[in-house]
Amino acid sequence: MPLVSCPTCEKQISKRAVSCPGCGEPDPFNRQVISKLFGFVFWIVLIVAGGYAFWTYVVPMLVDFTHDI
């Protein structure tokens, strides 16, 4: 497992460390921030794709349905 320097105290720690054993820095490599960012981007893309699909497929069917009545 590769060791890298802690951004705060410069001690060698594992890349997978949840906190630095030397200085106690929680999440020294900002994994949670990056994970939350990817989750946020995923949900935004999903909402936009759902809106596009609704606008492209459902709205025309509703318009045709109301014109037939």
Residue 54 structure tokens: 């609704």
Q: Is 33 in a helix, a strand, or coil? A: helix
The one-letter amino acid code at 28 reads P
| pTM tops 0.85, yes or no | no
CA–CA separation, 11 and 5 (whole Å)? 5
Contact predicate 4/12, CB 8 Å: yes
- Rounded to the nearest integer, the mean pLDDT of the chain is 88
pLDDT at position 7, please?
Answer: 85
pLDDT tens digits, one per residue of 47-56: 999 999 999 9
pLDDT tens digits, one per residue of 23-46: 988 888 887 777 888 999 999 999
Contact predicate 53/33, CB 8 Å: no
pLDDT grade, residue 1 (50/70/90)? low
